[in-house]
Amino acid sequence: MASATIPKHGKTELRRDVSIWGSYMWGYADVGADIYVALGLVMAYAQGAASLVFALAGTVYIMIGLAYTELSSAYPVAGGGPYFTLRGLGDFWGFVGGSALLLDYTIDIALFATASAGYLNFFMPYIFGQGIESFAISFGPFHNVNPVWCLETLFIIGLLILVNIKGIKESSFLNSIIGAVDLLAEGSIIIFGFLFAWKPELLIHQWNTQFPSLHNFMYGSSLAIISFVGLESISQAAQETKRPATVIPRTSLTLIFTVFIFAVSFSTLGLGVLPWQVFAEHMGDPVAKLAHTIPYIGLIAGPFAAILGATILFISSNTGVMGASRLTYSLSQFGIISPWFHSVHPKFRTPVRTIIIFSMIAVLQTILSFLTPSAMDTLGNMYAFGASLGYTLVFIALIKLRFSDPYTPRPFKVPLNINFKYKGRKTSFPVLGVIGMLGVGTILFMVVLTHTIGRIAGPSWVILCFVYYAWYRKRQNLPLFRSVKHDWEQEQINVLTSAEEFDLLEQYKLALAERDKKRKEIK
Amino acid sequence: MKRATLQPVDPNYKISSRDYYQIFTSALMVILGTIILFRSFAGYITIMPLLVGGGFLALGCYRLNFIVKYFREKRK
């Protein structure tokens, strides 16, 4: 470890006042929106096997969710994946995890704004007499470019920039209301869909005759991870939840399984109601199309799902703007990036630099992706790369932290552990962590193998961030690949104190005292 | 009623509106799961409808199990 220390900054704490329901809905408003985007995209590639693909990706996602639950309840801070990676693997890997997540936040802004506009376009045939696809043009080497959809998306991103610079307080109450309405709507679509519209013979027909090629199956599987992205919201909620050790395991486990059930149910229902080609054609508004097909309720459910989809995706897009600000703030506190990023606007008191920089990156991504034949597909491509890279690092950090930080109390542990003694102390090795790491590693491998844009743009982004990281660390006289000395023990004491987890704090202090006593005895 | 955790049932606990909502959704899961399974068995059988139907049925029964336990404890 280097003896250099990072510059000290005044830390401001986030207020802890989010309830159990608020914490659950925070996550649901973020992760629950993913199916609105993923359904059409995955159907287009996984075809007759879409529901299997969702189930497989969902199984990996459950393991990722369990890892996040353990780490978020043990380290209830908003830094999320990169923070866990930083603690477990050191500064450099923390930076790699941070850059992967930053990529995802910028894509999050672009992809969800595109999808939000897509759901609004559901009404286009009824208002203008023609669908959004009729505006597509081709020029030079570019085909199927849709300038109208692109402009709508840019307008939404512009609105998000303005709203965030001026400063909105993301209302936990509003999130709860929209989340609850969405939960009810998705539940109703599933119930009415299975009761009145689902034809098992159609699903079986598609399964038997339209099973995808291996390439498409792998591509679809890696895209399906999109429907489960947003687990960072668990750790963000942990930072603002009172007694997170008690609340987070309950809410996040419920969230993980709700999202999994919805994703698998929607795809199974979809394949039994419509041919997969219909979803591929309606990549912008697949859930609204599905809801519109259901007898009795379809006439209302279709437009309602479209409005709800547009709203919840807008909120999700906003999560990208807010997430990028939170992440850069967290990274700058640990000397990974410059504190220049989190300076606030003198009048509005908002992190104006991060909002503008990362939103403009999202604007660029939007314009470039609309120059490709399918903007949604291109954005999804890169999203999957960032997510799978970040999650792989989180799994490695989970395993490493079990050995390097056995003293921090873990109110929840990933199940399936092998207990043994390591350096004279009881340690449990997370078998499920290894399986999850292999699962998400396989998805990362499939992304690199099958995503023509993601495998170039994703690593290029990480390399670009590395150039900045190297420049900044050199300028600050900080080591490039080694870690700066962090006082994690004091940090953990501060975190547990602010979270009012006094039982855990006592356990932690006792464990440290016991360790120190043993060390003295050895000396 | 206690949530679906592995904690012992407290007979002094009063059922709230949230619990009634959970009873309703659990019963709905059992009905939906049974219908999906029944319709799947009527034709050729593939894995996904069985997983989804079976999943709903199992989850609904698991949650209802706690409700049954609660009433049993209360009767004692």
- Domain range list for chain A: 20-486, 489-523
pLDDT of residue A235: 75
* pLDDT score at A168: 63
- The rounded Cα A132 to chain-centroid distance in angstroms is 28
User: Per-residue pLDDT for A7 more than 50?
Assistant: no
**Which residue of B35, B47, B52 is in closest CB contact with A265?**
B52
pLDDT at A319 over 90: no
Of A187, A250, A268, the CB nearest to B52: A268
Give the minimum alpha-carbon distance from A192 to chain B in angstroms, rounded to a whole number. Answer: 10
pLDDT reported for residue A318:
87
For residues B46-64, give the mean pLDDT.
Answer: 92
Are A293 and A218 within 8 A, CB to CB? no
Q: Does B48 touch chain A (CB under 8 A)?
A: yes
Report the residue from B40, B51, B59 with minimal CB separation from A200: B40
Nearest to B46 among A204, A250, A261 (CB): A204
The pLDDT score that the predictor gives to residue A250 is 86
Chain B environment of A62 (Cβ under 8 Å):
none
State the average pLDDT for chain B: 81
Chain A residue nearest residue B30, CA to CA = A191
Cross-chain residue pair B39–A191, CB shorter than 8 Å: no
Record the tokens describing residue A328, joined without a space: 């850069």
CB–CB of A321/A160 below 8 Å? yes
Q: Tell whether the model's pLDDT for residue A12 goes beyond 60.
A: no
Which of B35, B44, B51 has its CB closest to that of A204?
B44
Is-contact A195 A30, C-beta < 8 A? no
Instruction: Write down the residue that tokens 């993601």 correspond to.
Output: A454
Is the dihedral angle over the CA atoms A333, A335, A338, A340 positive or is it negative? positive
By CB atoms closer than 10 A (0-12, 13-18, 19+), residue B75 is exposed
* CATH ID of A20-486, from 2.40.50.180, 3.60.20.40, 1.20.1740.10, 3.30.1490.190: 1.20.1740.10
Confidence of residue A6 (pLDDT cuts 50, 70, 90): very low
Full-model pTM: 0.89
Show the tokens assigned to A125. Answer: 């045939």
Q: What is the DSSP annotation of A441-467?
A: HHHHHHHHHH-TTHHHHHHHHHHHHHH
* Residues of chain B contacting A198 with CB distance shorter than 8 Å: 36, 39
Rounded Cα–Cα distance for residues A496 and A76 (Å) = 8
CA distances A18 to A49, A182, A241, A494, B21, Å, are 39, 20, 5, 19, 22
DSSP characters over A11-48: --PPP--B-HHHHHHHHHHHHTTHHHHHHHHHHHHHGG
CB contact under 8 A, B49 and A272: yes
Cα A396 to Cα A391: distance, rounded to the nearest angstrom:
9
The tens digit of pLDDT for each residue in A453-474 reads 889 999 999 999 999 999 999 9
Least confident of A20-29, A181-190, A255-264: A20-29
Give the ranges where A75-210 is alpha helix by DSSP (H).
81-89, 91-120, 124-128, 147-166, 172-192, 200-209
A201, B35: Cβ pair inside 8 Å? no
Query: What tens digit of pLDDT does each residue of A231-252 get?
Result: 777 777 777 777 888 888 888 8
Identify the closest residue of chain B to A56 by CA–CA distance: B48
8 A C-beta contact, residue A50 and residue A269: no
SS3 A241: strand
Residues A119-174 have pLDDT tens digits of 999 999 999 999 998 999 998 899 889 999 999 999 999 999 998 888 766 556 77
Handedness of CA A466, A469, A475, A478 (dihedral sign): negative
Size of the A and B interface in Cβ pairs below 8 Å? 49
Could you read off the pLDDT of A467-503 as tens digits, one per residue?
999 999 999 999 999 999 999 999 999 989 988 889 9
